[in-house]
A = this chain, B = another copy of it.
Amino acid sequence: MTEIQQLSGDRPVAIVGAGLVGAGWAIVYARAGLAVKMFDANPQTTAKAIPLIEGQLAGLRRHGLVHEDPATILARITPVATLAEAVDGACYVQESVLERVDVKRQLMTDLDALAAPDLIVGSSTSGIPGSAFALGLGISPRVLIAHPVNPPYLVPVVELVPSAQTSAATVAFADALMRAVGQTVVHVRKEVEGFVLNRLQAVLLREAWALVQEGVASSEDIDKTVRDGLGWRWSFMGPFETIDLNAPGGVADYAARLGPLYQRIAESRTHEQPWDDELIRQVEAQRREHLAHAELETRRAWRDERLMEFAARRAPARTE
């Protein structure tokens, strides 16, 4: 028995909500050898997910990111017609339904009625804390947030965020499951707005928009600053390791040297909204100079190819 079979008790995983995010998760679990049942309240969504998954598996195979025949992996994914069928016998539900509190609350109530007493539920929400929709039910101790980056079969990070009622055993199970399927687990210990990943992205973006607004730099030059500068180290080290290596004495030395500058930078920003309509029009125009609206889709395919190449290069490096 493999680690993952032991962990799952050889039971399937259920995907509830089969849009882009749910389909991406189906690939993660099926690639790892698990049986996957896939349900969406809209049967057309499930029907669309299957060819999408097929296409992505072909790409993964081409880049050496899966070692089995894509058809073998696809055969592990079974679309089902009802929520009851999806959760029947499942060890884990990956919830990726609409980002609305009422929709998620209704699903938790339904799962509470249907689920086996040991079923664990992970929600893919990027912005709604579990305490907003998963409290006060029998199932509440077994619900947490498992927020991926899209697409999760390429970019491995997943944020685990317990609600006020999530049990420690649930966090431990989700941690073990995510690691077993190849994800990188980040533990978010408080339900803060945006969790960790979107908070970090938000502060950088907010400063970037403000710099354009003030005429300090164009959006293209800001992209260059990150793409040909800051982003290199961050793509294999992260910000703390970066600064730890950037001062002779390590991170404390760095903090002593650069803390005052960083504080001055922070104090030079107010909380005024930098995304007004005029600014958005300006950045939209700058972007469209570089990429026409009609080319967005082609460029997304280019991005996905780059991400596959990136993942292929990272795969061996991660075992170092």
What does DSSP make chain A's interface, helix, strand, loop or mixed?
helix
Contact partners of A280 in chain B: CB under 8 A: 251-252, 255-256
| B193/A200 in contact, CB under 8 A | no
Q: Give chain A interface residues in 137-156, CB to chain B under 8 Å.
A: 149, 155-156
Interface contact A262-B202, CB-CB below 8 Å: yes
Contact A251 B221 (CB under 8 A): no
A238 proximity list for chain B (CB < 8 A): 222-227, 231
One of B156, B229, B232, B265 near A193 (C-beta < 8 A)? B265
Number of chain copies forming the complex: 2
- Kindly list chain B residues whose C-beta atoms are within 8 Å of the C-beta of A66: none
A6 at the interface (CB under 8 A from B): no
| CA of A250 to CA of B235, assembled, Å | 24
> Does A100 interact with chain B (Cβ within 8 Å)?
no
Contact at B194–A261, with CB atoms within 8 Å?
Answer: yes
The answer to whether A229 and B189 have CB atoms under 8 Å apart is no
Alpha-carbon separation in the docked complex, A236 to B304 (Å): 11
Of B159, B206, B239, B306, the contact of A205 (CB 8 Å cutoff): B239
How many residues of A are in contact with the other chain, CB < 8 A?
A: 97
Residues of A with Cβ closer than 8 Å to B?
127, 149, 155-157, 159, 184-190, 192-194, 196-208, 211, 214-241, 243-245, 250-252, 255-256, 259, 261-269, 271, 273, 275, 280-281, 283-284, 286-288, 290-291, 293, 296, 299-300, 303, 306-307, 310, 313
17 further contact pairs, Cβ within 8 A, besides A186-B224, A196-B225, A204-B204: A149-B230, A155-B228, A159-B225, A184-B224, A186-B221, A188-B216, A196-B216, A196-B222, A197-B229, A200-B208, A201-B239, A202-B262, A227-B235, A233-B307, A244-B296, A251-B284, A263-B275
